[in-house]
Amino acid sequence: MSYEDETQPAGVFQTTRWSMILKLNAGSEDDRRAALEALCQQYWYPLYAFIRRKGKSHEDAQDLAQGFFERMLARDSFNDADEDRGRFRNFLLKSLDRYIQNQWRHDQAQCRGGGITVIRLDAEDARERFAQEPVATDLSADKAYDRIWAETVISKVMERLEREFRAAQKIDQFEAFKPFLVDEKGTVPYSEVAANLGMGVNTVRTAIHRFRHRYARCFRDEIAETVENEEDVENEIMELLAALSN
């Protein structure tokens, strides 16, 4: 698919990873487990950072995150009635907080030395990323978790767009258009972008408009993978954008 392809019409909410997980009849147990594992694999770092901001060391945060995911995948905890389960971000944080308070020592005693690693965590990458987080911040661990989650969503969207442009052999356009996502006029004039790409100014203007539209569509699609229904998508977008502004 190129960045110009049409996506699903607005108002059509497809069965996404988290919605499939929550609906018992929307797939086999293996499919639901695979969907949960994929989401956890993509969004483990915000949880790791949350644990670190709670004062835990790198080693303890790594153990806690791993133990939490092992427990999540070992039981149908996502079937529990919970008002926060509609959004994966909220559900994960609440579940992790409960796990830290009540379960981790017991689970570590049971798993250490004989547990099976079900989610591969890049420990060194996590250590390096957390070292780059602001040392002094007024954000609580919960607020920082939301901000890092939002940044993770954006990172996934940009990776997806880059793959699409690279597949279309237009990676030079991807690099040239990126600044226009955060600045309507970009860091250079349209005329300069056009000259660098060998395109007409009007063509560049249209391409940038479509690039922004595709980014917004991918952002929405990425969020949809972590919520239960269409209404939750809108709320999640607003909350994550607010988290980024903090």
For each of the chain's 246 residues, which pLDDT tens digit applies?
Answer: 344 444 444 444 566 778 777 765 556 777 777 777 888 888 889 999 999 988 889 988 888 888 888 887 776 555 554 556 678 888 889 888 888 887 656 655 555 444 445 566 777 788 888 888 776 567 788 998 999 999 999 999 999 999 999 999 999 999 999 999 976 666 789 999 999 999 999 999 999 999 999 999 999 999 998 888 888 899 999 999 999 887
Boundaries of every domain in the chain: 14-133, 138-246
Phi, psi of 36 (to 5 degrees): -65, -45
Q: Count CB-CB contacts under 10 A for residue 165.
A: 20
Instruction: With CA atoms as reference, report the closest residue to 241 among 220, 210, 226, 213.
Output: 220
Which residues, in sequence order, are CB contacts of 168 under 8 Å at separation 6+?
A: 2, 3
Would you say 71 and 116 are in contact if contact means Cβ atoms under 8 Å apart? Answer: no
